[in-house]
């Protein structure tokens, strides 16, 4: 008791600085110091009179009062508020332009007990991010969105936003916004309230103290709803941007009241009692369980172990034109990798044409988790045609290998640093009965040359995928033919380029 009294006295003493009682101060939810710039640790980067500062304060105070600081993850946008993470002492993620609701969705779904906030400007939310906000709202994601509508792009110097008023000048509507040319302002709160799922949608304004108090209540309510497990909540905050509007802070606030509010009426558009829904946790299953390949993986283990001591990480690029089984070959390799317990990735790239357009894919096989599926310098290039050879040969890592689907290199082809092996795979496949299996001949060559995956795993995958028994038999022969070609022609009787194999 005595200790408690002392504490209170100390607190009171602290609050009476220079004879003043501190009844209003920076929310402790903000960092003590803003580390963004060494010489500006006591102030934000916002312009004087900017509504973002006020909106931040309302959010910080609500989180503080509700005791949610440690549970909160704040997703900041691209726009003037991009640096919100320097101010809020919460979890922070900074999303790509317009994508904050998608990031917030992912965070909330993986961490349902967190309070996830998507904070966005009007350019971010209503222009580049229109799709994200509409679909997050429509799915009823259990996130809270604070939409700061200042009717302009602030950060980039005053371009027209979807919410710019009719008659308002901007750098991209210098004669002012005219509906015939630039369309009408988008009313996001009204638009989202046509959807079924949202539980709470309100528009508030930072125009005067009375409205700021209403905004405070709306911010708090939206967060409370999320805390209580309700669905999507959205607060649109009409906000001054004195700098771009060319007004002083007081005029800017007045402009919010006199111009923005009539155009964007303040209202509670949705306030639905959340219905109690039993939350069903998503199934926590491994990829191999989900794809039902665990048993197959088991059977491939022996084969995998046989060659495991050879294994190092491989990056493989398969390139050719549509119809050559380029993407399929990549998929088969990744499936094989999965069955051998490796980390795998497959990244396809193809043109709009289903046939004959260029196509390539990147395959990573690794014992470690894969950072990026994009490969700049593959260890192996499987070039299914001359265009791909010419285009990608120079990208192959020094010491890498190129498997080229022809019996010889083009005469004028400048040899890269990599080793090149010419394989007349299309002719070999044709002799086996179907040029469709050219990619499998190349697969056989790849496995034999690099030993990156076990041939037995390849057969296991083919047996599961190819339902036509005749074709399966041709595939089996194609795989063997590719392997034999490397064994017999390359290892035993190597021919030098340009009419055969180049080293
Ligand atoms: C993909 C992409 N496109 C465009 C930009 C340029 N850009 C940065 S912020 C911004 C608009 C910001 O306006 P708003 O969302 O209204 O936020 P404010 O700055 O007014 O708070 C734009 C277009 C970008 N950074 N990235
Ligand atoms: S430009 Fe406008 S929105 Fe951006 S910080 Fe300045 S006042 Fe705020």
Q: What's residue 501's pLDDT?
A: 38
Element (H, E) at 421: strand 419-422
Give backbone dihedrals phi and psi of 162, rounded to 5 degrees, phi first: -60, -25
List the residue whose alpha carbon is closest to atom 13 of ligand 1.
Answer: 153
Residue 502 has pLDDT above 80, yes or no: no
Region 20-42 average pLDDT: 86
Spacing, Cα 46 to ligand 2 middle (Å) = 6
Contact 442, 479 (CB under 8 A): no
Of residues 216, 315, 202, 314, the one with CA closest to residue 266: 202
Complete DSSP assignment for 192-260: HTTSSS-SEEEEEE-SSHHHHHHHHHHHHHHHHHHHTT---EEEEEE---HHHHT--HHHHHHHIIIII
The answer, yes or no, to whether the previous bond of 498 is cis (omega within 30 of 0) is: yes
pLDDT band at 30 (very low <50, low <70, confident <90, very high): very high
Contact 80, 62 (CB under 8 A): no
Q: What's residue 295's pLDDT?
A: 57
Q: Using a 6 Å cutoff on CB, does residue 78 contact ligand 1?
A: yes
CB atoms within 10 A of CB 268: 14
Ranges of H-type helices in 111-187: 122-123, 130-139, 179-182
Residue 85 has pLDDT above 50, yes or no: yes
List the residue whose alpha carbon is closest to atom 8 of ligand 2.
Answer: 50
Greater confidence (353 vs 283) lies with 283
Ranges of H-type helices in 423-488: 425-432, 438-450, 455-465, 469-484
DSSP label at residue 148: E
Residue 199 has pLDDT above 70, yes or no: yes
Bridge-partner residues for 455, per DSSP?
none
Q: Which of 5-19, 40-54, 105-119, 462-476 has the lowest mean pLDDT?
A: 5-19
Q: What is the tens place of the pLDDT at every residue in 355-371?
A: 667 899 999 999 999 98
Greater confidence (281 vs 321) lies with 321
Q: Residue 176: CB partners within 8 Å, gap ≥ 6?
A: 166, 167, 168, 169
SS3 state at 137: helix
Among 33-42, 353-362, 386-395, which range has the highest average pLDDT?
386-395
Q: Using a 6 Å cutoff on CB, does residue 45 contact ligand 1?
A: no
Contact 104, 137 (CB under 8 A): no
Q: What's residue 9's pLDDT?
A: 53
Residue 492 has pLDDT above 60, yes or no: no
Region 495-501 average pLDDT: 40
What pTM was computed for the model? 0.69
Q: Which atom of ligand 2 is nearest to the CA of 47?
A: 6
CA distance 215 to 15: 28
Distances from the Cα of 246 to the Cαs of 49, 151, 169, in angstroms? 12, 13, 11
Task: Using the CB atoms, write b or e for 77-88: b if 16+ within 10 Å.
Answer: bbbbbbebbbbb
Query: What would the two tokens of residue 460 be?
Result: 């296991």
Region 269-275 average pLDDT: 85
pLDDT band at 25 (very low <50, low <70, confident <90, very high): confident
Contact 422, 406 (CB under 8 A): yes
Q: Residue 382: CB partners within 8 Å, gap ≥ 6?
A: 316, 317, 318, 319, 329, 402, 403, 405, 442, 446
List the residue whose alpha carbon is closest to atom 6 of ligand 2.
Answer: 47
Q: Using a 6 Å cutoff on CB, does residue 220 contact ligand 2?
A: no
Contact 82, 155 (CB under 8 A): yes
CA distance 91 to 112: 14
CA distance 28 to 164: 35
How far the first Cα of the chain sits from its last, in Å, is 86
Q: Which atom of ligand 1 is nearest to the CA of 155?
A: 19
Mean pLDDT (the chain, rounded): 89
Q: In this prediction, what percent of the chain has a pLDDT beyond 90?
A: 77
Q: Using a 6 Å cutoff on CB, does residue 218 contact ligand 2?
A: no
The arrangement of strands across the sheet holding 401-404 comes to 343-350, 358-366, 314-321, 380-383, 401-404, 419-422, 501-502
Query: What would the two tokens of residue 434 be?
Result: 């179907």
Q: Using a 6 Å cutoff on CB, does residue 320 contact ligand 2?
A: no
Q: What's residue 298's pLDDT?
A: 56
Element (H, E) at 267: strand 267-271
Q: Residue 62: CB partners within 8 Å, gap ≥ 6?
A: 216, 219, 220, 223
Cα angle 121, 139, 204; round to 5: 35
Distances from the Cα of 276 to the Cαs of 271, 273, 283, 319, 473, in angstroms? 15, 9, 21, 52, 57
Q: Using a 6 Å cutoff on CB, does residue 242 contact ligand 1?
A: no
């Amino acid at each position: 008791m005595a200790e408690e009294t002392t504490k209170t006295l100390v607190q009171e003493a602290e609050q009476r600085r220079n004879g003043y009682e501190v009844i209003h101060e920076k929310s402790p939810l903000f960092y003590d110091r803003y580390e963004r710039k060494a010489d500006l640790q006591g102030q934000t980067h916002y312009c004087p009179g900017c509504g973002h500062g006020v909106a931040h304060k309302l959010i910080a105070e609500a989180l503080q009062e509700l005791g949610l600081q440690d549970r909160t993850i704040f997703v900041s946008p691209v726009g003037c508020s991009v640096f919100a993470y320097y101010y809020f002492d919460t979890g922070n993620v900074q999303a790509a332009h317009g994508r904050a609701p998608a990031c917030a969705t992912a965070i909330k779904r993986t961490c349902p007990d967190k309070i996830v906030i998507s904070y966005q400007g009007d350019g971010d939310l209503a222009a580049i991010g229109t799709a994200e906000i509409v679909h997050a709202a429509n799915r009823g994601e259990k996130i809270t969105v604070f939409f700061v509508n200042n009717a302009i792009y602030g950060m980039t110097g005053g371009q027209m936003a979807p919410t710019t008023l009719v008659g308002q000048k901007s750098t991209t509507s210098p004669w002012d916004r005219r509906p015939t040319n630039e369309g009408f302002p988008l009313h996001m709160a009204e638009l989202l309230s046509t959807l079924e799922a949202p539980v709470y949608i309100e528009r508030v304004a930072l125009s005067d103290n009375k409205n700021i108090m209403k905004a405070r209540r709306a911010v708090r309510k939206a967060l409370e709803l999320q805390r209580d497990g309700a669905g999507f909540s959205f607060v649109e905050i009409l906000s001054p941007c004195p700098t771009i509007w060319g007004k002083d802070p007081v005029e800017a606030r007045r402009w919010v009241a006199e111009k923005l509010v009539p155009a964007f009426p303040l209202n509670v558009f949705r306030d639905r009692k959340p219905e109690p829904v039993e939350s069903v946790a998503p199934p926590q299953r491994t990829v191999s369980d989900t794809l039902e390949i665990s048993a197959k993986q088991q059977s491939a283990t022996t084969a995998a172990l046989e060659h495991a001591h050879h294994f190092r990480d491989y990056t493989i690029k398969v390139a050719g034109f549509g119809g050559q089984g380029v993407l399929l070959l990549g998929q088969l390799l990744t499936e094989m990798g999965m069955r051998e317990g490796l980390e795998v990735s497959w990244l396809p790239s193809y043109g709009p044409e289903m046939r004959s357009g260029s196509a390539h894919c990147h395959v990573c096989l690794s014992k470690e988790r894969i950072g990026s599926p994009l490969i700049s310098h593959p260890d192996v290039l499987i070039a299914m045609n001359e265009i791909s050879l010419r285009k990608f040969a120079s990208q192959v890592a020094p010491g890498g290998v190129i498997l080229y689907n022809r019996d010889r290199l083009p005469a004028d082809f400048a040899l890269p640093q990599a080793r090149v092996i010419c394989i007349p795979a299309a002719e070999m496949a044709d002799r086996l009965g179907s040029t469709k299996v050219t990619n499998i001949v190349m697969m056989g060559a790849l496995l034999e040359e690099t030993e990156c995956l076990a041939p037995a795993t390849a057969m296991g995958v083919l047996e599961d995928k190819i339902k036509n028994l005749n074709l399966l038999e041709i595939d089996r022969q194609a795989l063997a033919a590719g392997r034999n070609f490397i064994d017999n022609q390359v290892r035993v009787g190597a021919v030098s380029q340009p009419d055969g194999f180049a080293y």
